[in-house]
Structure 1
Amino acid sequence: MKVISKDKLLISICLLRDSLGWYTVNSAYGDTIIMPCRLDVPQNLMFGKWKYEKPDGSPVFIAFRSSTKKSVQYDDVPEYKDRLSLSENYTLSISNARISDEKRFVCMLVTEDNVFEAPTIVKVFKQPSKPEIVSKALFLETEQLKKLGDCISEDSYPDGNITWYRNGKVLHPLEGAVVIIFKKEMDPVTQLYTMTSTLEYKTTKADIQMPFTCSVTYYGPSGQKTIHSEQAVFDIYYPTEQVTIQVLPPKNAIKEGDNITLKCLGNGNPPPEEFLFYLPGQPEGIRSSNTYTLTDVRRNATGDYKCSLIDKKSMIASTAITVHYLDLSLNPSGEVTRQIGDALPVSCTISASRNATVVWMKDNIRLRSSPSFSSLHYQDAGNYVCETALQEVEGLKKRESLTLIVEGKPQIKMTKKTDPSGLSKTIICHVEGFPKPAIQWTITGSGSVINQTEESPYINGRYYSKIIISPEENVTLTCTAENQLERTVNSLNVSAISIPEHDEADEISDENREKVNDQAKLIVGIVVGLLLAALVAGVVYWLYMKKSKTASKHVNKDLGNMEENKKLEENNHKTEA
């Protein structure tokens, strides 16, 4: 005899009374069926028996229990072998419930003079497998009725129903848009059902990323239940409705020499793989993938570019492209040699696709304005650079350079100065010229060369050579300056150290000249300030004196009146006397 767990008993049994007064026992497939006898045991009971009825009504006895011997016997029925258990109160248990157990069972209690019977109807239920969407479409295409997939649920008893859902809402058949085909099959061995529902669906763009599911509704021991499948999302194909064109790099940064890539996009799914590209001035399109590249573009590539679908040329997109350019012409340029005092016009001409900035540099120092030479000086020599750029276009800049060389024949000026101690004299030979002249000192008459000299730095075509001498007699010194252009000679008479003579002023250098100019400006400013202060003081003094004179007149007038009054009083006194 098999032992039946209490948990199995609680889960498996549910008794329901039908309209005929019979009792129904609902059991889950594979559980234990428990059927109470539902008869009161009589006093003179001999034995109890269980049977079931075949479809033709004939009985098949399956279990017997004697009331006196307390023994249990099970009939030789193959389908119930080792599955039956009959308790002392005549409750029959059948383990491992099968679909074939759905029968009318009868409990029989037999006495010497009567037989009592109580029928029980057994119902077996099998929960189907979780429904699954199979044979799914790789994609759905708008405006076309297409099989979406099959929803399958297996091993159900009794058979169940399948329902389709879109985004959680039930799909109902709709002519030309939603077609649902349902079928069921029973396994002849297990008597379990497999349900299949095929969904044909006409999709729209609104179905993008929409989940589709299905469910199976079935009956179990405790009533109706539903199991849902996993979600399925489908790729929705739809035609292109709009074409767009892109330019790489960004349109506002294209310059001559760049490569332009045109990219055409369609908003369909899948997107078009090929397009027609139209270049400026070319009515016929060029068939290409979704990109088309132009290399090393020039300014004549500026214009409108278009692309369209191959099979629908009216669906077209266009964009305007400007190829930025920048031209710079410096005249003169390169290395230019001019003579001191010459005029040299310089022009830096710019041609650009938009306004460009221009910067002049001399020897890496920025100039405030463009250079202009009406009369060249040595300090005008240097390396000039004209540089221009388009700020909005990265990397678009040009520069040209001018290396100006200012040449001049040597110019000499000699000066002399006696040391305050009276023991020596300083003779200076000031020289201008380019290339730098070489200076040589000689003593006229003897022809001796003086080598002990001191030279200043060569700046802006100028420098000097200085000697210090203490002549015991009058001498004539000669300064010779020579460069590739010319040789220049100048002489200076120098008296003996014992003979006083007039000193000549030193040549003022450019730097000193600027200092002198600054000092002169300062002195002029001070003088003007003093004159203004004196003028203000004079005006104040004049106003003061004017007020003083006016006051003085008033006082004199008052004093005169007092004297007249005095004389009148004296005359009056005389008359009275």
Structure 2
Amino acid sequence: MDARVAASLLAGLVVLLHGLTAWALVEVNMEDRVEVYRGDTAQIVCMFSSDDGIGGVSIQWFYVSRLGEKQKIYYEDATTKAVERGTPFTDRITVNVTAATGEVVLTIADVQVRDQLEFICLIKSLTDGVGEGRTKLLVFEKPDSPTIEGFQEGISIYDDLSKIGICEVKNGFPKPNITWYRNNAPLRGADDVMKVVPSITTESSGLFSVRSELSMKVTKEDKNAHFYCEVTYLVPGGTRMTETNTINITVYYPSTAVQVWVQSPKGKIKEGDSIELRCQGDGNMPSSIFTIKHQGEEYPLESNTYVIANVTRLNSGDYECVSLDTDTYEELSGTTSIFVDYLDPAVVAPAGPVEIDHGEELTATCNALSSLLTNTAWFKDGQHVSMGHHLIVKDVTFDTAGTYQCVVTVPEIDGLETMGTLGVNVNGPPEIVPPKSTDIEESFDSTVDLTCHVRGFPAPTIVWTTLDGKVLETTSEVELEDGIISVASVAVTSDLTAFCNASNQYGADAVAFKIKAKGSGVIIAVVIICILLLAILGSGLYFLYKKGKICGRSGKQDLTKDKSGKDNIVVEMKSDNTEDAILLGVNGDKQPPNHQ
């Protein structure tokens, strides 16, 4: 028998047994709403009470479709539990009943946006008492982080409504809201000065993506404004908010004033510098054209900059920067003054080179025309000798001769300086600078270089001679500012004396160099000794010869041959004096001594 039919028969039997009775009282309590994130599990609780008790009631769950139709998804009584087939919830719901408390819990797994519906819990007693409760299931999805994009093109204050930017937030539920802000204040205004155009897209998932485009009529004050969007969205139990990054816009507005100034160099300007002029208005209209005017000439600017290379004092004067707006033909200008400091080349008087007699006074001046105060210093051979425009040297000597350099500087400007030179010659007789030594020892048969440094002007004539009046050859001669250095090479074959003789129209001077030849006496002694040794050696050899120690002679020898031989020779040497020695010749003939 069908379970439902059996339940109906049972209910009828109870009616017959009890006779005429009143309907049982059934009460149902449910929350107005249940809120849950998409993908989570929702639990809808139905609390009921009945005079018939839990065993005498049936429980049914319904949902209300978007068309307003009531659709059953679950049934349960004392003997039956059944989930309706073919509904969106068939495979995702479970129902738990707690008899002690009269609590029925409908659990829906993996909640989706389409599940945002109204759910009905219907409790019916066996005596036809009925109770019903309703709960709305609300589904939420936190949207993605919002984005903002600004338009890169500049906007003129003369334009009408211009696009500022676009904000977008995707995949939220319910629909997120976008509010535009400027400098932390929400943007509000009439349609002729501000316009916000929203658009909503429903994704395949049922989530919402919202896009908002802002257009405005900008003012000059908007040049530094920060624009951003605030996004608000619902979550279970409340509302949350997030913001985008900020964007700036480029606002074009006309100038009301123009300035021109020297960008570099900083401080004073000197001849030879390069000047960079900057010209700028307090506006930024692309239609503005800047030019520089100076002494009736106009010079166009690149990037609001004008460069004058290698300036001179002629570049001094007023420079006017002119701004022309080609849209309105309005002209503005600003002016600055430039002064180029200068320092002319140094002028030395007398012009030089100068000649001055020994013992007199040297006076000279050095001046340079300048736009600023100057300092003058005098140097000789790199050494500082005087300060000021005037150079005075009293009682000049040959040490005074040489080249003087005057250096004129401008203390207020580093690197601004000029120089002049003065050559000084001191007239006077030759003066030989004492050599380190005039007594020289050199080896026999060597060569020595003699150096003679002579000061004097006009340049002295130098002649090298020996003690016996012989003129030596000059090896080299170098002319200096204060005189001459002469060098002569001398071959050392014996002791000698050489003279350096210097003279000019004012007088003469000389110095003697004494050269001693080392080793000459020893050589003579060696030669004599060698001659004596040779004489002794000759006598010894002669003696040995007489004694028969050499040339085949050996004391007294008898050499006997066959008496019949014609060539028998007998040699006899007596041990007496050499003069008595007798040599026997061939065949025994006696030979006189002078035939030896």
Distance 1:380 1:484 in 2: 19
Counterpart selection for 1:316 from 304, 311, 334: 334
Aligned match of 2:427: 407
Residue pairs, 1:474-485, within 5 angstroms:
483-485=503-505
Aligned match of 2:384: 365
Q: Which has the larger radius of gyration?
A: 2
User: Could you say which structure has the higher strand fraction?
Assistant: 2
User: Could you say which structure has the higher helix fraction?
Assistant: 1
Counterpart selection for 2:408 from 373, 376, 388: 388
1:85 Cα deviation from its structure 2 partner: 0.5
Distance 2:66 2:245 in 1: 44
Aligned match of 2:209: 194
**Cα contact 1:185–1:193 (8 A) shared by 2:** yes
Q: Write the letter of the residue equivalent to 2:179.
A: T
Aligned match of 2:120: 106
Aligned match of 1:397: 417
Unaligned runs of 5+ in 2: 1-27, 99-103, 432-453, 470-481, 484-499, 510-596
**Cα contact 1:38–1:118 (8 A) shared by 2:** no
**Cα contact 1:133–1:149 (8 A) shared by 2:** no
Distance 2:202 2:468 in 1: 139
What SS does the corresponding residue of 2:189 show, helix, strand or coil?
coil
The answer to whether structure 1 residue 26 and structure 2 residue 44 are counterparts is: no
Distance 2:315 2:186 in 1: 58
Aligned match of 1:126: 140
Q: Write the letter of the residue equivalent to 2:186.
A: V
CA separation of 1:37/1:325 partners in 2, compared to 1, >3 Å: closer, same or farther?
A: same
Q: Write the letter of the residue equivalent to 1:50.
A: W
Counterpart selection for 2:269 from 254, 260, 276: 254
After superposing the two structures, state which structure 1 stretch, 480-489 or 92-101, moved more. 480-489
What SS does the corresponding residue of 2:88 show, helix, strand or coil?
helix
Q: Write the letter of the residue equivalent to 1:166.
A: R
Aligned match of 2:75: 64
Distance 1:58 1:237 in 2: 57
CA separation of 1:172/1:130 partners in 2, compared to 1, >3 Å: closer, same or farther?
A: farther
What SS does the corresponding residue of 1:300 show, helix, strand or coil?
helix
Q: Write the letter of the residue equivalent to 1:25.
A: R
Q: Percent same amino acid at aligned positions?
A: 25
**Cα contact 1:150–1:196 (8 A) shared by 2:** yes
Distance 2:217 2:68 in 1: 53
Distance 1:100 1:318 in 2: 75
CA separation of 1:314/1:195 partners in 2, compared to 1, >3 Å: closer, same or farther?
A: same
1:287 Cα deviation from its structure 2 partner: 4.4
Please give the root-mean-square deviation of Cα atoms over the aligned residues, in Å: 4.3
Residue pairs, 1:171-210, within 5 angstroms:
171-187=187-203, 190-207=205-222, 210=225
What SS does the corresponding residue of 1:264 show, helix, strand or coil?
strand
What SS does the corresponding residue of 2:422 show, helix, strand or coil?
strand
**Cα contact 1:305–1:320 (8 A) shared by 2:** yes
1:92 Cα deviation from its structure 2 partner: 1.6
Q: Write the letter of the residue equivalent to 1:399.
A: M
Distance 1:252 1:48 in 2: 97
Distance 1:389 1:269 in 2: 45
CA separation of 1:114/1:31 partners in 2, compared to 1, >3 Å: closer, same or farther?
A: same
Aligned match of 2:353: 335
Aligned match of 1:45: 56
The answer to whether structure 1 residue 84 and structure 2 residue 100 are counterparts is: no
Deviation sequence 1:235-268 (CA, Å, 0-9, x none): 4334344444343542544333333333334444
**Cα contact 2:318–2:335 (8 A) shared by 1:** no
Distance 1:119 1:76 in 2: 23
Distance 2:501 2:187 in 1: 111
Unaligned runs of 5+ in 1: 1-19, 412-430, 441-446, 450-459, 462-479, 490-577
What SS does the corresponding residue of 2:114 show, helix, strand or coil?
helix
Aligned match of 2:237: 222
Aligned match of 1:545: none
**Cα contact 1:106–1:118 (8 A) shared by 2:** yes
1:74 Cα deviation from its structure 2 partner: 0.9
**Cα contact 1:128–1:153 (8 A) shared by 2:** no
Deviation sequence 1:438-469 (CA, Å, 0-9, x none): 899xxxxxx998xxxxxxxxxx99xxxxxxxx
CA separation of 1:86/1:299 partners in 2, compared to 1, >3 Å: closer, same or farther?
A: same
1:351 Cα deviation from its structure 2 partner: 0.8
Distance 1:299 1:123 in 2: 89
**Cα contact 1:274–1:310 (8 A) shared by 2:** yes
Deviation sequence 1:169-225 (CA, Å, 0-9, x none): 2222245433233344445x54443333322234445445543332233444424x1
**Cα contact 1:163–1:214 (8 A) shared by 2:** yes
Counterpart selection for 1:231 from 228, 241, 245: 245
Deviation sequence 1:17-64 (CA, Å, 0-9, x none): xxx987422222333332223222533526422223456765432112
